[in-house]
Amino acid sequence: MRIKWFSVIRVVGLLFVLLYHFFIKYFSGGFVGVDLFFTLSGYLTTALLIDEFTQDKTIDLVGFFRRRLYRILPPLLLMILTVTPLALLVRNDFIANIGNQIAVALGFMTNIFEILTGGNYENQFTPHLFVHTWTLAIEVQFYLLWGLAVWGMTRMAKSIGQLRGLIFLSSSAIFLTSFLSMFISSFFVDSYSTIYFSTWTHIFPFFLGSILATIAGIKNTTKGFQRTIQQWSKKKALQVFLAGFTLELLLLFLLKFNSIWTYLIGFLLSSMATSVMIFAARVLHEKTEEVNEPLAVQYLADISYGFYLFHWPLYLIFSQIFGNIGGVILTVIFSLLLSTASFYILEPYLAGKTGRLFTLEIDLKPYTKWISIAGGLLAFSTLLITLTAPKLGDFDTEMLVNSLKQADTRMAQTKANAEKGKASGYDIEEGVTIIGDSVTLRATPQLNEQLPGAFIDAQGSRNTQQAYEILKTNIDSGTLLKDVVIATGANVIYNYDEELDKIVDILPNGYRLILVTPYDGNAATYEDPLSEKHAQYVRNLAKKHNFITVADWNAVSKANPQIWVGSDNVHFGSDAETTAEGGNLFAQTIKTALEEAAQKPVKGQE
């Protein structure tokens, strides 16, 4: 039994996710589209299980899992087999260690994989091609655990009323515990991605939908819901639906992924708004017997799962080659084609049925041989890519090599200082200490060339707060050299201003401070471009304190677009030539700032 107007909810959820991924600057809360799907899925799963028990007095658990498998696995396999070879068109950072990504996607464990590898949902320089399957992982985990749980309840329930009661109480308890886990955890985590990806803290929307299923349902409904159908007019049901949709629209524009309010109340509001839409749509279904859903809405709802699967990796690949707008257009076109073929043709074929694309019947059985050959070739290509893919991409390999070279240089410098009796002394040693992030690490060869003797401490994923801690350690150990360069900001933190102020305050008298402005070429797509704010704050600090000098990497980067072609727009260079050019520009920017700083007073003389 297909409930009219549920398709609208599916389409809204899909559009929210697409807007978020394509135009995050304008639709910062679009990630709640996932929670629309979660809530609706929890409702439908539970309602269908209740209906099955009502009819058969039991639940066919194997049949339930089989139906889920037939619906979930074919589009997932098609997406992986078609996308993996396409990834060869872009830099190999996207296929590095791709075997692990494929394994966890097919094993429905992507969310756990992202947590264990420290994945950040919004701020990965080279996002995983299949990171979006984290939602599928949580969904399948819900199906497995909840399917077993409801089946167990049917062994205890003697009537449909008892089963509803058991499901209602269990769902309420899990919903409350899961939501409180997200609420409380949000005060203590370093990265919100951890609780966003976690099954336990993000599963409550499913159970809010499940609670609603015990009240409304699909075929088997309660007497209370039947009274609601009689009491509500079509106009009232539509108004209630629009009220829920309006709240979702507000969240689309107002929520931000890294705001604590998103986790304290944002996801809850989205799930509640979706529940309101589900309830109203269920009433509208009964009130609009003479009205059919628009065919376009039905079509988009049918392919929404496949479209979601295809859009993210295709967008990553196409946007790397054709830019954002070109990437969006090509992603929409190919996602439509592939998800349509999957739902209307491939999936029926695999289930032993004849596919139907609108009014056209498509029987693939005569072409089984060719389909097997095509599938085999795609599978072989994917396997070959998986086996030959590097463990580390070019970027990570370069970072590792530069880290090892940097460590060797630092050991030699420390030894030289110790022999001079300076390493543990409190004298101010002439020289340059550079504390930086992965951008600095990328430019290490050029820094060593242009600033021989500089003490370079750079590491990937380092932020300004960590730079402060390293600076403090150098001060306490007496190893800080006279000219201190802080080159962080690529890895954004929201309290960058406080951390920069702390660096300024802790710097002892007698030292100079050189602050490098960060650059993020993707800033124009962000609603809140923190890298630009960070850069401007650095410039303002230099105006307030004459012992501070700006190494304006932000301005230099904008003046040299050639070093960003084919890159992630944060780490310069896509080949040896542009990487070397970017490294030389970065090193020259710092060298020029150091020459300027030499003409200024040290701290304490201003």
Q: What's the CATH number where 452 sits?
A: 3.40.50.1110
DSSP state of 310: H
What is the pTM for the complete model shown? 0.82
Shared-domain flag, residues 78 and 182:
yes
Residues 6 or more apart in contact with residue 406 via CB below 8 angstroms: 441, 444, 456, 457, 458
Query: Would residue 605 count as lying in a domain?
Result: no
Give pLDDT tens digits for 221-242. 999 999 999 999 999 999 999 9
Q: What is the pLDDT of residues 558-587, one digit of tens each?
A: 999 999 987 888 889 878 899 999 999 999
Domain span at residue 438 reads 394-597
* Closest to 108 in 3D by CA, of 152, 144, 84, 83: 144
Boundary of a domain, candidates 341, 367, 388:
388
| pLDDT reported for residue 323 | 86
Does residue 374 fall inside a structural domain?
Answer: yes
DSSP string, 467-532: HHHHHHHHHHHT--EEEEEEE--SS--TTHHHHHHHHHHHSPTT-EEEEEPP--TTGGG-SS-HHH
Strand partners, 357: 360
Statement to judge: residues 338 and 252 lie in one domain: yes
Split into its structural domains, the chain has a count of: 2
Q: At what angle do helices 6-22 and 267-287 cross, to 10 degrees?
A: 150
Q: Which residue has the higher pLDDT, 123 or 389?
A: 389
Mean pLDDT of the chain: 90
Same domain, 83 and 180: yes
Residues 405 and 380 in one domain: no
Which of 369, 388, 407 is the last residue before a domain boundary?
A: 388
**Co-location of 269 and 315 in the same domain:** yes
Residues 369 and 403 in one domain: no
Check whether 426 has a pLDDT greater than 60.
Answer: no
Lowest mean per-residue pLDDT among 28-42, 346-360, 590-604: 346-360
Is the pLDDT confidence value at 320 over 70?
yes
**Does a structural domain hold residue 169?**
yes
> How many whole angstroms separate alpha carbon 108 and alpha carbon 119?
16
- Which one has a higher pLDDT value, 396 or 252? 252
**Percent helix, strand and coil across the chain, each rounded to 5?**
70, 5, 25
Residue 261, SS3 per DSSP? helix
Looking at 388, 408, 436, the residue that finishes a domain is: 388
| 237 in the same domain as 111 | yes
Q: Is residue 216 part of a domain?
A: yes
Examine residue 437 and state whether it is found in any structural domain, yes or no: yes
pLDDT confidence of 393, banded at 50, 70, 90? low
Are 277 and 40 in contact by the 8 Å Cβ rule? The answer is no
Main-chain dihedrals φ then ψ at residue 186, nearest 5 degrees: -60, -20
* One domain for residues 296 and 436: no
**593 and 463 in a common domain:** yes
157 in a domain, yes or no? yes
Alpha carbon distance 589, 41 (integer Å): 54
Three-state DSSP class for 411? helix
In a shared domain, residues 203 and 313: yes
**In this structure, what token pair is assigned to residue 161?**
């009323």
pLDDT at 422: 46
Residue 602 domain-assigned? Answer: no
Residue 291 inside a domain? The answer is yes
